[in-house]
Amino acid sequence: MTDLSLSRAQLESLSHEELVLIAKKLKAHEQLTQQAKGDIYLKGAHDSQVKFHKATNRVRIFFGGNRSGKTTAGANEARWLAEGSHPFHTFRLPTKGCIVVQDFQTHAKDIMEPKIREWFPPSMFTRAPETNSVGAIVKYHLRHGSTIDVKSHEQDLKVFEGSDYDWIWFDEPPPEPIFKALWRGLTDRRGICFITGTPITEPWLYDLYMKAAAEENKGMYWAIFAEIWENARNLGEGNEAEGRRRIEEFLETLDADEREAREKGRFLHMRGRIFKTWNRATHLIKPFEWPAKWPVLISLDPHPRKPWALSYLGLTPAGYRILISSHYVDGVVEDVAEAVLHNRNEIEIDGQGLPRIHSCWIDNYAKVESMIKRGTTILDELNRLVSPAVPRFQTPPKNVEDKILIMKSWLKPQESKYGLRPGFFVFDTPENKGFIYEIEHYVWANQRGAKRRELKNVPVKENDDILDTVMQLCLVLDSKKLQNGGDTTQKVFNYTKRGHS
């Protein structure tokens, strides 16, 4: 008997032995279908999908434009993990997995469930899935004892805490607290997680991507960007030209900003980055002992309700500016004064004594009256506490546009006798992590609703205090250079070299 399509009457007329034979044939047919589906997917998978499946890192991120095949890749990865059939890795069964979607009503029911039905053969399921009040599936029961929970961004954070999993799939970036809660749940089983999505929201994911890009984290994190064009052949149902035509039709409906994310899978929230030439590979350098004769400038950004930002910028004889260290200091003026002197003493010096402090600078806010000592300013009180150990603090020029332009010029690689180099470097130390975060997240304010003629270069004033301490030194060191010509940085070095402080 080769025809497996039988009516109810035909089935009822069969003997037990014949029914057992049909059941075996159905199972074999299902296994062949399942194997064929896996072969079909891998045969048509584009390069980024294959790299995603082969990666061995515990945290994998598959960024992609719309229709770039990221959810299909995620579904097949989940299927292989749940049934122990991964073509590149070995996982012990049963596995306990979790799929995290944006919401149950739309994302789960309209996108995820059809994707599971497309790639998971019915024989994988041992019983009907569990559903919630809106009819969305919240748990799958699979053979070998494997299970898959489905959770949503809409749920209370407590739902995500306390669960342990072998693997977690985030289809679209989750809010950071949800990611952290579930990541803790992978600890006991040393589980893995993978994120597929277009980075339209959740800017915290940029920091995770930077960890993936950092050489020291290659064992833990991995990330790839897939463009929609890579999936053109599949979108055209085998006809790449047709797929490209469909992609172009879709992209024509988007504005320039959104197209960058939807087409290339790039970070939409970072489209307004101010310092686009900043690059960790270029600007971070290994710290070294600071020569005692090389000048150091101190910069402070005070705040009445937040910790103060404090940074130490050094100058080299060749005119390079190097951020030696940067910190946040909590407390009142006395605490800040103590930190200024303490952190100066912590700078490792090549030679005897302390670093030579050329000058100290503080934001103009310091001119307001002190809340602790009436009749005096914050600036006066600070200078009373730090003098004569360091030069008296001064207030720099205040021009937001100029300091941004100057900072850009510092970051831009220029021809020199050492080759193509920027004019600004940062010691790659834990103390400077705050500065690195701030310069990578410093963006123009979103003013899409404003009229074109009203658009101004206004940065988002958020998490930028350490960066501000460095940029106010831009004005100190280069404002006269812009006005009168000449290298002000070199003049500062020469001035200090003659023995002044």
Q: How confident is the model at residue 137 (pLDDT cuts 50, 70, 90)?
A: very high
- Please report, for the chain, the start and end positions of each structural domain, with discontinuous segments joined by +: 46-264, 280-497
What's the pLDDT tens digit per position in 441-463? 888 876 444 444 344 568 888 88
Q: How far is CA 472 from the centre of its chain?
A: 27
**Per-residue confidence (pLDDT) for residue 47, from 0 to 100:** 86
pLDDT for 497 beyond 60 = no
Fold designation for 280-497 = Nucleotidyltransferase; domain 5 (3.30.420)
* Backbone φ, ψ for residue 379 (5° rounding): -60, -45
Which pLDDT does position 140 carry in this prediction? Answer: 98
Query: With 70 as the cut, is the pLDDT of residue 18 above it?
Result: yes
Phi-psi region of 389 (alpha: psi -120 to 50; beta: other; left: phi over 0): alpha
Instruction: Please give the DSSP secondary-structure letter assigned to residue 127.
Output: S
Distance CA 437, CA 319 (A): 25
- pLDDT confidence bin for 76, thresholds 50/70/90: very high
Identify the pLDDT of residue 495: 42
Q: What is the mean pLDDT of the chain?
A: 83
Confidence of residue 209 (pLDDT cuts 50, 70, 90): confident
Task: Judge if the upstream peptide bond of residue 388 is cis by omega within 30 degrees of 0.
Answer: yes
pLDDT above 70: percentage of residues in the chain: 80
Q: Which of 346, 65, 70, 92 is nearest to 229 (CA)?
A: 65
In this prediction, residue 265 has a pLDDT band, given cuts at 50, 70 and 90, of low
**What is the pLDDT confidence band of residue 216, given thresholds at 50, 70 and 90?**
low
Query: How much is the pLDDT for 447?
Result: 46
Give 119-123 contacts, CB < 8 A, sequence gap 24+. 119/37, 119/41, 119/72, 119/75, 119/76, 119/79, 120/75, 120/79, 120/82, 121/30, 121/33, 121/34, 121/37, 122/30, 123/27, 123/30, 123/31, 123/34
> According to the model, what pLDDT value does residue 156 have?
94
What does the buried/exposed string (b/e) look like for 100-129 if buried means 16 or more CB atoms within 10 Å of the residue's CB?
bbbebeebbbeebbebbeebbbebbeeeeb
Q: Indicate if the pLDDT at residue 470 is higher than 90.
A: yes
pLDDT of residue 326: 97
Give the model's pLDDT for residue 452: 40
User: Residue 418: pLDDT band by 50, 70, 90 thresholds?
Assistant: confident
Q: What are phi and psi of 325, to 5 degrees?
A: -160, 155
pTM: 0.62
> Which pLDDT band, with edges at 50, 70 and 90, does 271 fall under?
low
CATH class assigned to 46-264? alpha beta
Q: Which of 125-134, 233-242, 326-335, 451-460 has the lowest mean pLDDT?
A: 451-460
Overall average pLDDT of the 132-155 stretch: 96
Task: Please give the helix or strand (H or E) that residue 119 lies within, else none.
Answer: helix 113-119
So what's the pLDDT on residue 496? 42
* pLDDT one-digit tens code per residue, 342-363: 999 999 888 778 889 999 999 9
pLDDT for 402: 86
Residue 115 has what pLDDT? Answer: 95
> Does the pLDDT of residue 243 top 60, yes or no?
yes
The whole-number average pLDDT for the span 205-231 is 75
What pLDDT is attached to residue 449? 41
Higher-confidence position of 292 and 270: 292
